[in-house]
Amino acid sequence: MRLATFLRGLGQTLITAGVVILLFVAYELWFTGLETAREQKRLTTAIEEEWRHGAGSYVTEEDRLKPIPIGSGVAVMRVPRFGEDWAKVIVEGVDLRDLRDGPGHYPGTALPGQVGNFVVSGHRTTYGAPFNRVDELRPGDAIVVETRDTWYTYRVTSSEVVRPTAVEVTYPVPKDRTAKPAKALITLTSCHPKYSARQRIIVYGELGETLKKADGVVPQALRG
């Protein structure tokens, strides 16, 4: 009787633990995605309204000197490799709270189209997993960044896996702290492998095309 009672209690405990784990996984993979989708919708509305009022070009010297509020929208990123409907508002900031809303721009790194290194980080598995397929990017793939008045098309040049502490990938010239930047670069960072923070996957790119926005005009990379 004692053994039966013990086994019954153990079984109930294991079942409860299993349910709790399943609920946690569902929260991480499903509910957080809904939360991010809601925030992305809000950010899209906010950035479009800002652009209508003439803000957010990030081109003039005055724009560059203005601090960007943490959590606000910086630009819209599109990656054809991820699907024709894939589009994410990049937020300012890379803290955990910022990355819950979408891919985050490292404060202090270059802004879209500027000479230097435009560094963007994003989740691979939770909170909408914007960079879930980042490992699929190949040299030549397009990363299109939209600001109020300009389309910037970066082209992937290479990728690698590094330590989580490898901050040198965020330098204006990646891996060379003392070098003076001469090109407009982009660097995407995310955890690696999926469901782990043991390493970081890094994708490097270089600005290839700059196109002023006009009605009906989109970059070649977005024309199907």
Q: Is position 64 annotated as part of the catalytic site? A: no
What Å distances lie between residue 186 and 61, 143, 208, CA to CA?
A: 20, 9, 11
* 8 catalytically annotated: no
- Report CA torsion sign: 129, 212, 109, 178: positive
Q: Strands 73-78, 87-92: parallel, antiparallel or unpaired by DSSP? A: antiparallel
CA distance 132 to 149: 29
The CA–CA distances, whole Å, from 1 to 4, 5, 14, 90, 127 equal: 5, 6, 20, 61, 48
- How are the residues of the chain apportioned to helix, strand and coil, as percentages rounded to the nearest 5? 35, 30, 40
| Catalytic residue check, 200 | yes
Catalytic position from the list 100, 105, 123, 192: 123
| Residue of 78, 105, 124, 191 with catalytic role | 191
Residue bearing tokens 């691979």: 124
Q: What is the set of active-site residues?
A: 123, 191, 200
